[in-house]
Amino acid sequence: MPPAQLTDTEREVRAAFATGTAVDLAGRADRSVRGELLTGLLLGAYPLDEGAMPALRVDNALVTGEFELEGRTVGHLVSLHGCAFERPLDLRMAQLVALNLRGCEVPGLRGRNLRVGSDLRLELGFRCTGVVDLTDATIAGTLRLSGAALHHPEGVALRAERLRTSGSVQAVALEVDGELLLSGADVGGGLHLSDAELRNPGGTALEATGLTVTDSLHCDNGFSAAGTVRFAGARVGGDAVFSTARLTDPPARGSRVLVHVPDAEATLLDADRVRVEGDLRLDRGFTARGAVGLRGAHIGGHLLLSGAVLGHPEDAADLARAFAEGRAEDTVPLALVADGVEVLGDVEARGPVRGRPQGALRAYGQVRLVDGVVHGSASLSRARLRAAGRDALFADRLRVGGTLFLRRARISGSVRLQNATIGSSLDCSGAWLIKPRLRPEGTVKPSLDARVATIGKDLLCSRGFRATGGVRVRLAEVGKRVTFAGARLGGATKPGHPVPEKALQAYGLSTQELVLLFRPGRPPAGLVNLSRATAASVVDGPGLWAARGGVLLEDFTYSAISAVPEVSVRQRLAWLRAVQPDFAPGPYEQLAAVYSQGGEEEMAQVVQVERQRRRYSELHWAGQVWGRLQEFTVGYGYRPWLAIVWLAGFWGVGLLWFAGHRMQRLNTDTEPVWNAPLLVTDLLLPIIDLGQDNMWKMTGPSQWIAGTLIAVGWILATTVAAGATRVLKRG
């Protein structure tokens, strides 16, 4: 552009460029500067005096025409503050020392493969109504977008795929209408989106798949996004902070997935496979009106969820209505999907503690931790999980190095921990697990399902613990203690709601101490199955044996047993009779063995006698008679002194008779001496011959009495032999 064609304003800009002086055109009648002039100045189209120190510093200009630096190298500072451009800037493949467009208004910026030697400033009132394209751009300093407003609701507002910055990306209070693309970007410092507002309803608000951030990622302190936010496969060298952030407008309100088949497209915050070297903070009021995805994520610090609100309350209300109607839903809304997540620190989702006022996690939908690994502890104490009729916490094969806390949690739905491994304890003290999962036919699954789980220390289901669907710890291994002291198992959440058949399924459970102390007024509302369970010591009470579905004890083994309050052996036998209408010898043998090993032989004998009594009571009439005979004569071999009592009694009766009734000799060739005591003894003792019973002729009543004594002798001998054989076999 010839100098003669320049306006006065443009001549002033040209003169100021030569010295690097700033020109402020605010308030001028003529603020227009042609883009061709600015391009010419930067590319050396206008000669400069020797010793000049050029820099383009123009404020509040109206730039008309084309400002085009495509493929050019510019060695001068470019600083255009508050300028308005009629046409998009073309900076494709350009190389600039520095570019400052603070407060400018542009219809677009084409900067693909742009190279900037220091900071790129698009901040503090910078406004773009088209696309800002920084694809494959390289910035040796910081990209500054704080306070900028990018409006392109019909498409991508900022395209920065594979962007490279040596410094950070400062985008505090950024406003975006449209999509923000940072896929594959590499940020040498931190990415700061605090207080940013991203709006792309029904679409993707932030696409940062494969992003790399050397320092920390901040989407907190008022950050909001209407649309999906994606950080799948991202790498963050420090913390990833979403505290107080608010994410709304998921792909579809109430989007659900088939049970056990989570869908990646259903997540509102997609952070699958993300790798965070520090903490991942989704706390202090973080809200996502949809699912948060952390599948396969690696977190080097802690996962913080305290105070977070995940999912749609409307979805949870739909599930609650279906449960009340007895309908089992085929789909389940998701709140958190963290299958395969690895956390090197703790998972914190607990409620208020001293010095930390934020509330606990609230999840409206399923929380999934299938195959997750937490090297520290995981705390969901006081958490509120809502997924009535479904698995509210689905954590099969979860591994926790420390303790899994569910203290005083309020969970509508079931907790599923099948094959989980917990290094220390599973603490459910005071937790309420209501509205358990429903089967398709409308029956109830357990509220707490920890079958085949391995717990290093304690399983604590006490202090007001409540599970309306019951508890299943089938084949679980607990290193120290399992307690249900004061627990409420089974029953309906409300009248008309489904009721489980089994209150406690502990088949094959293995532990050192098993505490089954239920309140007598609130016994388990269903079957208690202790078959094949093993415990070193058992503490029980009347509440257990009042279980409405009975108690199964087949092959239940223990080394010691006590009750609170303490009860007699006969009370225990009454409990066994109540829960075992059909006789099974195992529980009696086990109880007797425990008494015997504890040195309480008398109690052991009482139990063994009761075992034999019940055994014979279920035989045919002849067996029952034989059993009664053994009971009254020798106590089934456990009371041999009874045989002596019976022998002494019959011996006395025989003596009284034969002392007054002398018998005649059977053989006149012999001269036997009449001895009534010896005769009676010879009649009563079988096999042994004392030479008296064959010497005398029994006639009349004496014949019947002699026969009776002989029969009594054989019966007593037979019962003593049977009882002794039984005792010896047991020994």
> What is the crossing angle of helices 601-617 and 569-579, to 10°?
30
Residues 6+ apart with CB under 8 A from 503: 470, 471, 489, 490, 524, 525, 526, 527, 528, 547, 548, 549
- Selection from 38-47, 457-466, 586-595, 644-653 with the highest mean pLDDT: 457-466
Which residue stretches of 483-566 are H helix? Answer: 542-545
At residue 526 the predicted structure's pLDDT band, cuts being 50, 70 and 90, is very high
Query: CB-based contacts of 614: which residues, under 8 Å, 6+ apart?
Result: 577, 583, 588
Least confident of 35-39, 61-65, 206-210, 710-714: 710-714
The arithmetic mean of pLDDT across residues 146-151, rounded, is: 98
Parallel/antiparallel/unpaired status of strands 246-248 and 224-230: parallel
What's the pLDDT score for residue 307?
95
Q: Does residue 723 carry a pLDDT above 60?
A: no
3 state SS of 202 = strand
Whether residue 396 contacts residue 416, with contact meaning beta carbons closer than 8 Å, is answered with yes
List pLDDT tens digits, range 333-346: 999 999 999 999 99
Task: Report the pLDDT value the prediction gives residue 253, as an integer from 0 to 100.
Answer: 46
Of the two residues 727 and 599, the one the predictor is more confident about is 599
Whole-model pTM: value is: 0.86
Alpha-carbon span 24 to 61, nearest angstrom: 8
Percent of the chain past pLDDT 90, that is, above it, reads 69
Q: Give the model's confidence band at 261: pLDDT under 50 very low, under 70 low, under 90 confident, else very high.
A: very low
Given this model, what pLDDT does residue 225 score? 97
Specify the higher pLDDT residue, 641 or 674.
674
The angle formed by the CA atoms of residues 71, 74 and 75, to the nearest 5 degrees, is: 150
Over residues 384-417, the pLDDT tens digits come to 999 999 999 999 999 999 999 999 999 999 999 9
CA–CA separation, 639 and 319 (whole Å): 63
pLDDT in tens, 174-223: 999 999 999 999 999 999 999 999 999 999 999 999 999 999 999 999 99
Task: Give the confidence band of 71 by pLDDT, cuts at 50, 70, 90.
Answer: very high
Inter-CA distances, 419 with 65, 401, 494, Å: 69, 14, 31
**Structure confidence at residue 180 (pLDDT):** 98
For residue 498, report the phi and psi dihedrals to the nearest 5 degrees. -60, 150
* pLDDT value of residue 251: 52
Tokens of 89: 């800037």
Q: What pLDDT, on a 0 to 100 scale, did the predictor assign at position 339?
A: 97
Mean pLDDT of the residues in the chain: 89
φ and ψ of 52, to 5 deg: -70, 150
Number of C-alpha atoms within 13 angstroms, CB side, residue 529?
16
Q: For position 91, what pLDDT does the model report?
A: 97
- pLDDT tens digits for 453-491? 999 999 999 999 999 999 999 999 999 999 999 999 998
Predicted pLDDT of residue 24 = 96
Average pLDDT over residues 277-286: 97
Q: Is the per-residue pLDDT at 83 higher than 70? A: yes
What pLDDT is attached to residue 651? 77
* 642 — pLDDT class (breaks 50, 70, 90): low
**DSSP per-residue codes, 572-605:** HHHHHHHH-SS--HHHHHHHHHHHHHTT-HHHHH
Q: Which residues contact 625 (CB under 8 A, 6 or more apart)?
A: none
> HSE on the CB side for 704, CA within 13 Å?
2
**Lowest mean pLDDT, pick from 269-278, 302-311, 370-379, 648-657:** 648-657
Q: How confident is the model at residue 714 (pLDDT cuts 50, 70, 90)?
A: confident
